[in-house]
Structure 1
Amino acid sequence: MNVIINGAAHELPSGATVAQAVQKLTEAVSGVAVALNDEVVSRGAWSSTTLSEADRVEVLTAVQGG
């Protein structure tokens, strides 16, 4: 299945979850936020929220600095 993660196409297995999409981009365990089709997905729902063909996932990571 093809999904868009941070603007780029990625191939994921059918039934893939938001958690799997996040793992495609980062191994960070904190400071990460996710939106699926413009709706924020709470961290507790990542592993139970399945993706569909052509879904848009935005993965945002916190950055320190000034």
Structure 2
Amino acid sequence: MDIQLNGQTTSVAPGITIGDLIRGKDLDPETVVVEHNLTIITTDQLDQITLKQNDALEILRFVGGG
């Protein structure tokens, strides 16, 4: 199944949640902001939303530095 991830077409397994996808990319769900189909998703919703064909995700990661 294909979704749009940060503007790129990406294939993911059917039935995967946003939380599964984030952890599968070795990202900490506590350090990212996720937009799903133009809606900001809270951390507690990540494992409740199952991705569907053509969903659009933007994942932004916070990086410290100076």
Change (3 A) 1:8 1:23: farther
State the distance in 1 between where 2:6 and 2:13 align: 18
Q: Structure 1: 5+ residue runs without aligned partners?
A: none
Equivalent position SS for 1:30: helix
Counterpart in 2 of 1:32? 32
Counterpart in 1 of 2:56? 56
TM-score, normalized by length of structure 1? 0.83
**Length, aligned pairs only:** 66
Q: Is the 8 A contact 2:33 2:60 kept in 1?
A: yes
Counterpart in 2 of 1:12? 12
After superposition, the CA RMSD in angstroms is 1.6
Q: Structure 2: 5+ residue runs without aligned partners?
A: none
Equivalent position SS for 1:15: coil
How far is 1:21 from its partner?
Answer: 2.5
TM-score, normalized by length of structure 2? 0.83
Between the aligned residues of both structures, percent identity stands at 24
What amino acid maps onto 2:42 in structure 1? S
Q: Is the 8 A contact 1:5 1:21 kept in 2?
A: no
How far is 1:6 from its partner?
Answer: 0.6
